[in-house]
Amino acid sequence: MIRATNIKEIMDIIPRSDDYLSKPPLRIGEVLVQMGCVSENHVQYALEKQKSSGAQKKIGDILIEEGYVTKRHVREALKLQSLLVTAALIAAFLVNQIVGMTPAAQASSKAKSMEITTRVLPHWKLSVEYQAQEIVITEEDIRKGVVEVKAGTRLTIKNTSKAGYYLLFEGLGKPFKSLSLQGINGLGEVIITSPNALVHQEYSKTARTHELSYKFYLSDDVKPGTYPWPVLITLQPS
């Protein structure tokens, strides 16, 4: 499901009609950032990796390989990218039509536009301020059966829906069999034992910032080493 459900948010990131022909449409990495799936640092890393590989791989494929997003997120972003391009072309057409109108007709058109856009739909926005990129597992961690990561994630969520929202945790798997996390506002310890888990958050008038600390419980056959960060957090409307 696309995160940018607020029409105003979508329109804010559409290229202006007077520079649409001189600027490229929104890139897939930028769309994923707007959706709250990745941070700008993730996209910058993927761009640098793409450049070093001779631009043979697409940004979306690199982000998937690094574990930052899933194939589903990329498909949704591509759909939204297509929607934005179409909306920009429509906006350019409408502006051109208005420019050719008489002053009275322009005033009438603007008045009608205001009537159409007065309703603000509920929206959700997730901003990832910090995200650890890897986990180092030592022999000592293996003996304990758990590896701890303090302040591994910091994110801020803005929500205008009275129904609240869900935090979706995806990707947990070997060499990790489960995890517990703390730092979600209003909750104590949260236990996750499956590759996909939803945690509900109630409506809040102000933006909420969550700083998450983790305990990853290790599989019996785990080996020492450095592993990619195993959990992707996205926002799902309630």
Helix (H, G, I), strand (E, B) or coil at 7: helix
- pLDDT for 42: 87
Count the Cβ atoms, other than its own, within 10 Å of residue 201: 19
Q: For the chain, give the longest Cα–Cα distance.
A: 79
How would you class 71 by CB atoms within 10 Å of its CB: exposed for 0-12, middle for 13-18, buried for 19 or more? exposed
C-alpha–C-alpha distance, residues 88 and 125, integer Å: 22
Q: Bridge partners of 213?
A: 182
Contact 68, 105 (CB under 8 A): no
C-alpha–C-alpha distance, residues 119 and 212, integer Å: 35
C-alpha–C-alpha distance, residues 137 and 148, integer Å: 10
C-alpha–C-alpha distance, residues 165 and 200, integer Å: 6
Whether pTM > 0.75 for this model: the answer is: no
Tokens of 69: 């997003």
- pLDDT for 138: 96
Count the Cβ atoms, other than its own, within 10 Å of residue 20: 17
C-alpha–C-alpha distance, residues 219 and 25, integer Å: 45
**Which residue, 23, 22, 28, 25, is CA-closest to 43?**
28
C-alpha–C-alpha distance, residues 63 and 129, integer Å: 18
- pLDDT for 61: 87
C-alpha–C-alpha distance, residues 8 and 119, integer Å: 10
3-state helix, strand, coil in the chain (%, to 5): 35, 30, 35
The pLDDT profile of the chain, 238 residues, written as one tens digit per residue, is 333 334 444 445 444 444 444 445 568 888 888 777 888 888 888 888 888 877 678 888 888 888 888 888 888 878 777 776 676 666 655 555 555 555 655 555 555 554 544 455 667 788 899 999 999 999 999 999 999 999 999 999 988 888 888 889 999 999 999 999 999 877 889 999 999 888 888 888 889 899 999 999 999 999 999 999 999 998 888 7
C-alpha–C-alpha distance, residues 1 and 77, integer Å: 10
- pLDDT for 153: 95
C-alpha–C-alpha distance, residues 33 and 98, integer Å: 33
C-alpha–C-alpha distance, residues 36 and 30, integer Å: 10
- pLDDT for 222: 94
C-alpha–C-alpha distance, residues 3 and 36, integer Å: 7
C-alpha–C-alpha distance, residues 221 and 223, integer Å: 7
